Amino acid sequence: MGRRLEAYFDKQLTPEESREYETHLGRCERCTRVLEDYATISRALDSLAREELRPERETSYWPEIRSRLIEEVPTGWSYPARKKLWLWRRPAWIGLAVSAAAALIIYFSGVLVPGRLPANYCRIDKLAAPDHNVMIYQDKSDGFTIIWLME
Protein backbone atom coordinates (compact mmCIF):
# COMPACT_ATOMS: atom_id res chain seq x y z
CA MET A 1 0.00 0.00 0.00
CA GLY A 2 2.65 2.46 1.16
CA ARG A 3 4.64 3.26 -1.96
CA ARG A 4 1.70 3.34 -4.31
CA LEU A 5 -0.23 5.56 -1.95
CA GLU A 6 2.81 7.81 -1.50
CA ALA A 7 3.28 8.16 -5.24
CA TYR A 8 -0.41 8.84 -5.79
CA PHE A 9 -0.44 11.51 -3.10
CA ASP A 10 2.67 13.15 -4.56
CA LYS A 11 1.25 12.99 -8.10
CA GLN A 12 4.11 10.84 -9.26
CA LEU A 13 2.00 8.18 -10.95
CA THR A 14 1.15 8.15 -14.64
CA PRO A 15 -2.46 9.07 -15.48
CA GLU A 16 -3.23 5.41 -16.04
CA GLU A 17 -1.68 4.35 -12.72
CA SER A 18 -3.60 7.11 -10.98
CA ARG A 19 -6.89 5.90 -12.41
CA GLU A 20 -6.12 2.37 -11.28
CA TYR A 21 -5.28 3.58 -7.82
CA GLU A 22 -8.46 5.62 -7.62
CA THR A 23 -10.41 2.45 -8.31
CA HIS A 24 -8.65 0.93 -5.30
CA LEU A 25 -9.42 3.99 -3.19
CA GLY A 26 -13.11 3.64 -3.99
CA ARG A 27 -13.21 0.43 -2.00
CA CYS A 28 -10.47 0.99 0.60
CA GLU A 29 -11.48 3.14 3.52
CA ARG A 30 -8.12 2.83 5.23
CA CYS A 31 -6.11 4.23 2.30
CA THR A 32 -8.63 7.03 1.88
CA ARG A 33 -8.21 7.98 5.54
CA VAL A 34 -4.43 7.90 5.26
CA LEU A 35 -4.61 10.16 2.22
CA GLU A 36 -6.76 12.63 4.15
CA ASP A 37 -4.19 12.64 6.93
CA TYR A 38 -1.36 13.21 4.48
CA ALA A 39 -3.28 16.15 3.03
CA THR A 40 -3.80 17.62 6.51
CA ILE A 41 -0.11 17.24 7.33
CA SER A 42 0.81 18.79 4.02
CA ARG A 43 -1.46 21.78 4.63
CA ALA A 44 -0.07 22.20 8.14
CA LEU A 45 3.50 22.15 6.84
CA ASP A 46 2.60 24.61 4.13
CA SER A 47 0.88 26.87 6.62
CA LEU A 48 3.90 26.69 8.92
CA ALA A 49 6.14 27.83 6.09
CA ARG A 50 3.79 30.57 4.89
CA GLU A 51 2.51 32.02 8.16
CA GLU A 52 4.73 31.07 11.04
CA LEU A 53 7.96 31.67 9.17
CA ARG A 54 6.67 34.65 7.17
CA PRO A 55 8.59 37.31 9.12
CA GLU A 56 11.76 35.79 7.70
CA ARG A 57 10.49 36.32 4.18
CA GLU A 58 9.89 39.99 4.88
CA THR A 59 13.34 40.71 6.22
CA SER A 60 16.15 41.17 3.76
CA TYR A 61 19.42 39.63 4.83
CA TRP A 62 21.30 41.76 2.36
CA PRO A 63 22.39 44.66 4.64
CA GLU A 64 23.98 42.24 7.11
CA ILE A 65 25.55 40.13 4.37
CA ARG A 66 26.89 43.19 2.58
CA SER A 67 28.53 44.64 5.66
CA ARG A 68 30.14 41.30 6.44
CA LEU A 69 31.38 40.92 2.89
CA ILE A 70 32.93 44.37 2.95
CA GLU A 71 34.74 43.64 6.20
CA GLU A 72 35.97 40.23 5.23
CA VAL A 73 39.27 39.08 3.87
CA PRO A 74 38.74 38.64 0.16
CA THR A 75 39.26 35.55 -1.91
CA GLY A 76 41.37 37.42 -4.44
CA TRP A 77 38.92 38.49 -7.07
CA SER A 78 36.56 40.92 -5.39
CA TYR A 79 37.71 44.44 -5.95
CA PRO A 80 35.74 46.06 -3.08
CA ALA A 81 36.90 43.46 -0.64
CA ARG A 82 40.48 43.61 -1.89
CA LYS A 83 40.49 47.37 -1.51
CA LYS A 84 39.25 46.94 2.02
CA LEU A 85 41.97 44.42 2.73
CA TRP A 86 44.60 46.92 1.69
CA LEU A 87 43.18 49.55 3.99
CA TRP A 88 42.59 47.22 6.86
CA ARG A 89 45.34 44.72 6.96
CA ARG A 90 48.37 46.69 5.79
CA PRO A 91 50.82 46.72 8.68
CA ALA A 92 51.90 50.24 9.67
CA TRP A 93 55.58 49.47 9.13
CA ILE A 94 55.04 48.88 5.40
CA GLY A 95 53.90 52.46 4.90
CA LEU A 96 56.81 53.80 6.93
CA ALA A 97 59.32 51.62 5.11
CA VAL A 98 58.07 52.70 1.69
CA SER A 99 58.20 56.39 2.69
CA ALA A 100 61.70 56.00 4.10
CA ALA A 101 62.94 54.16 1.00
CA ALA A 102 61.50 56.82 -1.28
CA ALA A 103 63.07 59.58 0.80
CA LEU A 104 66.47 57.87 0.71
CA ILE A 105 66.34 57.39 -3.05
CA ILE A 106 65.46 61.02 -3.60
CA TYR A 107 68.07 62.17 -1.11
CA PHE A 108 70.92 60.13 -2.57
CA SER A 109 69.95 60.99 -6.09
CA GLY A 110 71.14 64.46 -5.18
CA VAL A 111 67.98 66.16 -6.27
CA LEU A 112 67.08 67.57 -2.89
CA VAL A 113 70.35 67.91 -1.08
CA PRO A 114 71.18 71.58 -0.51
CA GLY A 115 74.18 72.51 -2.53
CA ARG A 116 73.88 69.42 -4.70
CA LEU A 117 70.55 70.34 -6.22
CA PRO A 118 70.76 70.45 -10.01
CA ALA A 119 71.10 74.02 -11.14
CA ASN A 120 67.78 74.06 -12.90
CA TYR A 121 65.75 73.16 -9.74
CA CYS A 122 64.60 75.71 -7.24
CA ARG A 123 62.64 75.36 -4.03
CA ILE A 124 59.32 77.13 -4.34
CA ASP A 125 57.77 76.30 -0.97
CA LYS A 126 58.46 74.65 2.36
CA LEU A 127 56.19 73.62 5.20
CA ALA A 128 57.41 72.34 8.54
CA ALA A 129 55.07 70.63 10.98
CA PRO A 130 55.84 68.63 14.18
CA ASP A 131 55.32 65.27 12.46
CA HIS A 132 56.23 65.98 8.85
CA ASN A 133 57.91 68.37 6.42
CA VAL A 134 56.90 69.25 2.91
CA MET A 135 59.23 70.80 0.33
CA ILE A 136 58.26 71.69 -3.19
CA TYR A 137 60.88 72.00 -5.92
CA GLN A 138 60.39 72.97 -9.52
CA ASP A 139 62.50 72.63 -12.64
CA LYS A 140 63.09 76.13 -14.05
CA SER A 141 63.22 74.96 -17.63
CA ASP A 142 60.18 72.68 -17.99
CA GLY A 143 58.21 73.40 -14.79
CA PHE A 144 58.52 69.76 -13.60
CA THR A 145 57.55 69.76 -9.91
CA ILE A 146 58.79 67.53 -7.11
CA ILE A 147 56.87 67.44 -3.85
CA TRP A 148 58.91 65.95 -1.05
CA LEU A 149 57.01 64.73 2.00
CA MET A 150 58.98 63.60 5.03
CA GLU A 151 57.05 61.88 7.83
Partner 1 sequence: MTAADEDYELVRRCLQGEIDEFRELVEKYQHRLYLLIYGIILDREQARDLTQEVFLKAYRSLNKFKGRSRFYTWLYRIAFNLALDEKRKMTGRPQVEYDDAREINPAGSRSRRSLRPDREVMREELYKMILGGLETLTIPQRTAVILREWEGYSYAEISKIMKCSRGTVMSRLHYAREKLREHLKPYLSGK
Query: How many Å apart are CA 85 and CA 71, to the nearest integer?
Result: 8
124 belongs to the binding site for partner 1 (CB under 8 A): no
**Cβ nearer to partner 1, comparing 45 with 122:** 45
C-alpha distances out from residue 52 to 35, 38, 61, 72, 82, Å: 25, 20, 18, 33, 40
Q: Which of 14, 62, 119, 141 binds partner 1 (CB under 8 A)?
A: 62
Query: How many Å apart are CA 12 and CA 21, to the nearest integer?
Result: 12
Overall size of the chain counted in residues = 151
Residue 8 burial (10 A CB sphere; 0-12, 13-18, 19+): buried
- Contact string (CB under 8 A) for partner 1, positions 19-58, x = contact: --------------xx-xxx-xxx-xxxxxx-xxx--xx-
Q: Which of 25, 69, 85, 111 binds partner 1 (CB under 8 A)?
A: 69
Instruction: Supply the minimum distance, in Å, between the C-beta of residue 91 and partner 1.
Output: 24
**Cβ nearer to partner 1, comparing 22 with 46:** 46
Residue 24 CB contacts under 8 Å (≥ 6 apart), including other chains:
4, 31
Residues at the site binding partner 1, with contacts judged by CB under 8 A: 2-3, 5-7, 10, 12, 33-34, 36-38, 40-42, 44-49, 51-53, 56-57, 60-62, 64-66, 68-70, 72, 75, 77-81
